[in-house]
Amino acid sequence: MIVTAQHAVLVQGITGRQGQYWTERMEECGTRVVAGASPGRAGREVHGVPVYDTAADAAAAHDLDATVLFVPPARAKDAVVDAAEAGIRTIVCLAEHIPSHDVMEMLAVARECGSVVVGPNTAGLVVPGQSSVGIMPGFAPNIFRPGRIGVVSRSGSLGTLVCMNLVTAGFGQSAFIGVGGDPILGTTTADAVRALVAHPATEAIVIVGEIGGSMEEDAAEVITGLGVPTVAFIAGRSAPPDRRMGHAGAIVTGDRGSADTKVAALRGAGVAVVDIPSEIGTALRGLGVGPHAAVAAGG
């Protein structure tokens, strides 16, 4: 699910306003956008990128590694199914407010086809200096710089803040994975941690979590015994129970999903949990992870 400059990317919904705008921004980051898909718009070009009616048509003309969906919630299921059945292995689904039954169906089809869905309600993926797939500001050097810290976040805005704090503290990122903030997701925090651990450029991991669900507790089980320096920040620690805060998945129910249970699980796995994002750099140094010379020098 880590998309680099070598991977070929499709943009579904490329002819819409957001699709056009973010295609240009993604290309500025080095993303190799080779095709777009918008029903009824075949034969057009957007920023020099050829447009096809469907992902299947685009896949017949290009070897595609990933796709990003700039489509409304009502069309998301069909777009994901189209991409999965076309053999595209990484599918980045940005839309939120997709009906739950649509999400369950599209994730089931993706699994059957061997595809990984990132999202729904994700801000996307970034490999600084190489690519950005989605709506993260991968083009901003004060937020993303090449480095060795892998970042996984449920929130795009909090992920942006944490990445900016990392750069300010002298660190850079090996990759950013936005898993999304909905209750039903194709990629979990634990999945993202596994991907970052397997990524050779990653020296340490930062988890940006929030209340609700059990993803951070599940990730703690994966982290235990890995020996990878890991820092976490959990948002919503002062939120009252049974009240949704921000994302649809940010609601505490039952005996899991609270800030306290997440913090306890992560600390039990050897993770340094900070109270505010600006403490992440100090926590990384405390784990023996030094700043990255190129970033610290402003390179």
Report angle CA 272, 150, 252 to the nearest 5 degrees: 55
256 DSSP 8-state letter: B
Q: Strand pairing of 66-69 and 230-235?
A: unpaired
Tokens 């507790």 -> residue: 217
| Residues whose CB falls within 8 Å of the CB of residue 291, separated by 6 or more in sequence, listed in order | 169, 170, 171, 281, 285
Alpha helices in 114-244 (DSSP H): 156-168, 189-198, 215-223
> Distance between CA 153 and CA 179 in Å, rounded?
6
Per the residue annotation, which of 7, 199, 247, 292 is the catalytic one?
247
Verify whether residue 247 is a known catalytic residue: yes
Q: Is 171 helix (H, G, I), strand (E, B) or coil?
A: coil
Question: Which active-site residues does the annotation give?
Answer: 247
